[in-house]
A and B are shown apart, each in its own frame.
Chain A
Amino acid sequence: MKKSSLFFTLILALLLGLLVSRGLAQAPPIREQLVYSLSVFDGKTYTKGFAPRGEDTIYLIANENNAVSIRYTLVYFWPITARYMAGFKTLNEEVEGTLELLRDGKVIRSLEKEDNVVFYPEGYFAENSKMYLHEEAHAFLQKYEYATKEYYARIDEYYEKTREYREAFEEFLESIGERRKAGEELSRTQVEAQMPKQPSPPEGVRFYTTPVAKDYILNLPQGTYQTRLRARDGTIVQDSQKNLVAFVRRRGGTIGYEITPGNRWTMKESSNDPSKTIYASGKNTLYLRPFLQDEYNDLYYKKLLDPQNVGTSERWIWVHTTPIKNALLDLLSKGKLLERIERAPYYVKQIPGPELGYEILEYKEEEFPERSPSFEGHKLEVSSVSGRGKYDFRLEKGEGEVMDGSEREILFVRKENTNLLHIISIFPLIVGVVVFIQRKRRAS
């Protein structure tokens, strides 16, 4: 017995040793690979990624434009994130040819590269974007280039005006000094009224358009396909065969919320399902951002974001697509309307000092000049006392029109009863004692 356990321990140690030594001693091997470079629509914007050789299936949202190109690059495995990484900066060689799309073994489409741009109507870091093709792509790029040119012209004008303002201001200071020396008495209001006006900087270009790229555009109806690249010499490019899954949402157009607790604004939560309750404790300030949302298969959607992701085919996830901006948030307690809350911009101000704190302030342009709001949302202040442990909220659009699926419940947990939990668990023993006493009585 002792010998066998010693043997087993040695084997285990050897295996662990092998595992550790392999992980620590070797640099990750870098290999040249043919990969699919992807710019795919994720329901709200375009996500960039790549499918290495090991991933044989690419997932796309059906009936949307998705850009694909096939490239040789250097691929290496990065053990820290357990992912294959692409070194596009070192090698990025596009493979020319015709992308063939197959269904049930038959070629249904042969695709050539098409001009495309991604247009971000509210700026590159905003939540939504759209792809445009061909002439429209060029038109949108021109629109952006024209707006940028205009902006730079306004900037030049602004610098010129600023230079003139500084000169005028210096002249003004000199003249005020001379007038005061001459005995003229000037009040502060009079000085301010005569002071030259400082020019305001021009507003930047709010939208953004990517440069025109040439890619294979995949816009497919729902279904499963195969794809491969046929080179100019008519041969199939090795390792270019992949499966394609074009999927659709299961449900759409319902309302989800992104919830930011006031005491930790970087840790956002989501409430996407009306059946899920929001549990809170004590006095709470919550900032709610409502969104229209679509429900996708977890596996498909995660693989769409990154083909190396893992997902569960039986699970469904909600994806926030479009922010809802023109609605009021109704706060209710026991069916009685307590408050109608408007969406407002907020600014997160870092508090200097060793505590690394912050405070969330209502954004006003005059108080935070040249700064943008950190986020916009509906501020909800709730406490366990005023709502007696339960609140409801919902979105209202127009006059009294409640938006379907926007209702949520907030329950306040009674943390003061935490100690009672252990006492409740004793009750099976009490039942046992009762049974024991009755048994004794019957026996006697």
Chain B
Amino acid sequence: MRSRFSPASHTARVLVRRDFLSALKGWGLYVAAFVSLLASSFILRSHLGAIKENNILISSDPLNYPLFISLVVISFYLAIISVISISREKDQGTLEVLFYGPVNCSSYLAAKYIKDMLLYLVMVGFFFVYFGAVSGFTNLAFSWSLVKAIFLSIFLVSCIVSFGLFISSLTSRMRTSIIWLVGILLVFLAVQIFHTMLISLEEEALSSSLLYLRKTLEMVSHGIGWISPFSYLNRGMQSIAIGSTLLYGMSILYSLVYSFVLLVFSVLILEAKGVRG
């Protein structure tokens, strides 16, 4: 156990530096950041339009919703690069070569995880610059709540990265990994939509078959609420909207536990399947 989860710090550091710099030199991060901030800009534009139309808006954190939209977009990007990272190296045989050296599963996965988190920290920098500029140009307050939301987003993104790495450890081909990731996320989404649709109707309005379906979806949805990384994102943002310190703290704790559990599972699966698996 000790050797399996040992830090293997030097190797991990080399891997992190190599992958992180490679990602920084590519266009992916910048394009994803641009798309996510552009999505925020559209939201902000309609927000300002609403203030103009309604005369007033009372809010403590008008920039939090645009941040949430940006987070969803950037999360998709990070989930995809997490899922690609291992399976591509498996696919190309790089992983096998790496494992002839002083690399083990835990150090390898830790390096991938840290690299993705560092990429997100770059994104956090972009968020601060972007929302600071937005606040300066529009007079919408850069509130303490926004800072809290950005800080919390680090933990929520950690869930998404771990989820991507977990899916990646399960599959051996890059294309399969992406199909699995997209498929699972779509299933999560479909369950969420159907469940929301059915719980909005009272029992009296439903036939017995639909009642059974609703009960089943209720259970599935409850389970998915703990599996889907986007549920953590949703819960975290809600805790800020509600202003509950307890839920905020719980959100961080749950995210850390979720990430840790998925990373441990990923290590175990990778070890069990081997570098060619």
Contact = CB atoms under 8 A, between A and B. Distances in A.
Given A77-B202, A82-B200, A279 B210 contact: no
Contacts of A427: 37, 126, 129-130, 133
Contacts of A261: 54-56
B139 A413 contact: yes
B51 A426 contact: no
Contacts of A435: 24-25, 30
Contact of B206 (A19, A29, A417, A432): A19
B55 A79 contact: no
Contacts of A263: 55
B207 A280 contact: no
A312 interface: yes
Given A77-B205, A315-B242, A414-B139, A19 B210 contact: yes
Interface stretch (A61-69, A267-275, A319-327): A267-275
A279 to B, nearest CB: 4
A418 B45 contact: yes
Interface stretch (A115-123, A169-177, A221-229, A281-289): A281-289
Contacts of B210: 15, 18-19, 22
A389 B247 CA distance: 35
B44 interface: yes
Interface stretch (B57-65, B88-96, B168-176, B178-186): B57-65
A145 to B, nearest CB: 44
A428 B54 contact: no
B56 A284 contact: yes
B40 interface: yes
Q: Is chain A's binding surface mostly helix, strand, loop or mixed?
A: mixed
A82 B201 contact: yes
Given A267-B54, A425-B34, A428-B34, A79 B202 contact: yes
B34 A79 contact: no
Contacts of B37: 424-425, 427-428
Given A276-B60, A417-B138, A432-B30, A425 B40 contact: yes
Interface string A395-427: 000000000000000011111011011101111
A439 B242 contact: no
Nearest to A267: B54
Given A414-B137, A425-B34, A280 B51 contact: yes
A380 to B, nearest CB: 11
Contacts of A279: 51, 56-59, 62, 139-140
A250 interface: no
A79 B206 CA distance: 11
Contacts of A149: none
Q: Is chain B's binding surface mostly helix, strand, loop or mixed?
A: helix
B209 interface: yes
Contacts of B48: 281, 413, 415, 418
Contacts of B139: 279, 389, 411-414
A84 B275 CA distance: 60
Contacts of B34: 425-426, 428-429
Given A417-B138, A432-B27, A282 B52 contact: yes
Nearest to B57: A279
Nearest to A277: B141
Contact of A411 (B130, B141, B206): B141
A23 B207 CA distance: 9
A424 B41 contact: yes
A22 B211 CA distance: 12
A290 to B, nearest CB: 15
Contacts of A180: none
A280 B139 CA distance: 10
B257 interface: no
Contacts of A236: none
B137 A417 contact: yes
Interface of B: 24-25, 27, 29-31, 33-34, 37-38, 40-41, 44-45, 48-49, 51-52, 54-60, 62, 126, 129-130, 133-134, 137-141, 200-202, 204-207, 209-210, 213, 239, 242-244, 246-247
18 contacts: A15-B213, A18-B210, A77-B204, A269-B56, A276-B58, A278-B57, A279-B58, A280-B56, A316-B243, A414-B139, A421-B41, A421-B45, A421-B134, A421-B137, A424-B130, A425-B37, A427-B129, A428-B34
Given A264-B55, A411-B141, 12 more contacts: A77-B204, A259-B58, A261-B55, A314-B244, A314-B247, A415-B48, A415-B51, A417-B137, A422-B41, A424-B134, A429-B30, A432-B30
Closest 6 A-B residue pairs measured CB to CB? A432-B30, A428-B33, A425-B37, A77-B204, A421-B41, A261-B55
